[in-house]
Amino acid sequence: MDQPRHDPGSRNPMDHPPEQESGADGSPKFGRLLAVLICAVLLIVVITFASEAYFS
């Protein structure tokens, strides 16, 4: 039941999990996000024009 002792000069004194490297598998895909955003805006524009034509 001894607690592990840390070297005072260690780089992780509070037992934080190691940081992920940049470009890891969980990184966001900004190109895909941009494409989805553009498709959403185009869908809103199409719905707006269709409803305007239908209700006029």
Encode the chain (56 residues) as per-residue pLDDT tens digits: 555 555 555 566 777 777 766 655 666 678 899 999 999 999 999 999 999 999 88
Gap between the terminal Cα atoms of the chain: 79
Q: What is the pLDDT of residue 40?
A: 98
Considering the entire predicted model, what is its pTM? 0.50
Q: What is the pLDDT of residue 53?
A: 93
Euclidean distance between CA atoms 15 and 3, whole angstroms = 12
Q: Which long-range contacts (CB under 8 A, 24 or more apart) does 31-37 make?
A: none
